[in-house]
Chains A and B, each alone.
Chain A
């Protein structure tokens, strides 16, 4: 898909497409998770979601089954690589876990007036289940940015990125595709503004 070259906002976003997302000092390298996969965080999750699949904490059941031992709930994949948050000031940062700022299409669209954000799609893929001791790295790459679309929330752009998760041996253990609509709330249809 080639970008709409007559749209200066979309044209300005072309620099992100196909590129890793992150601070320049990381040089596009995958980021190490703060913690290795571990029992306490698994049990915290099991209790929060009341997910009593025995393979998450019953070593006897788990060792007799396909996984050969206790595994982490697969949906925890993203949790392992969530950054350690700075709690003070998180409201002022709009919920961002830390002060780290780097050039990215979501901020660029904020600055261009497309301040609304709505997550539209999530696709998690698991190559294998994780075991305690696995230590992940993750890297985010902008897969695509749509041309400007008129949506029910106003004019906007769909930004799609793919996070790839690798283990301590460099093997891919999972992926997540994530799509967000960044929209300009002042252009919502029916507000008397430009609705074409």
Chain B
């Protein structure tokens, strides 16, 4: 999925609408690039030896990256006029190289906010180990 270059009108998005599914190919480079771009130098996010010694199956995505990808998943759909207000996630199993991370989302609420709409979107990012992150993203869109 590539980023939307325009935003849908809030009035055209109904509760129950599904976001386009998206799959992130998680590689060691993806994990390391996200960790360093978010200024997180914890060795579990770049050293497999260190990560496995800590009991993890491999290096794994840091939480800042998970939030970064959730934000991207939302605005790839909602476009440049969206303003993300909240990203609330419950963290599950690790996102590790070789396990594609599948993102899905559904609009669960829509309410008026001045000349805009506020939406809640239930999101899930899962791999073959189970849920990596589940939660709710709140965003504004113009009417």
Contact = CB atoms under 8 A, between A and B. Distances in A.
Interface residues of A, number: 40
Contacts, number: 116
Contacts of B26: none
B70 A91 contact: no
B52 interface: no
A49 B65 contact: yes
Contacts of B68: 45, 48-49, 51, 73, 75-76
Contacts of A119: 63, 91
A51 B84 contact: no
Contact of B75 (A51, A62, A97, A121): A51
Interface string B5-48: 10000000000000000000000000001101111111110010
Nearest to A78: B64
B83 A124 contact: no
Q: What DSSP secondary structure best describes chain A's contact surface?
A: mixed
A82 interface: yes
B80 A73 contact: no
A74 B81 CA distance: 13
A52 B142 CA distance: 20
B129 interface: no
Given A48-B33, A73-B71, A79 B38 contact: yes
A75 B3 contact: no
B41 A97 contact: yes
A75 B83 contact: no
B69 to A, nearest CB: 6
Contacts of A48: 33-34, 36-38, 68
Contacts of A95: 41-44
29 contacts: A44-B37, A45-B37, A48-B36, A48-B37, A49-B33, A49-B72, A52-B2, A53-B72, A54-B3, A65-B80, A66-B81, A75-B70, A76-B68, A79-B37, A79-B38, A79-B39, A79-B64, A85-B39, A90-B42, A90-B43, A91-B47, A91-B50, A95-B41, A95-B43, A95-B44, A119-B91, A121-B91, A122-B91, A126-B86
3 closest Cβ contacts across the A-B interface? A48-B37, A95-B42, A82-B39
Interface of A: 41, 44-45, 47-55, 61-62, 65-67, 73-76, 78-79, 82, 85, 87, 90-91, 95, 97, 118-126, 129
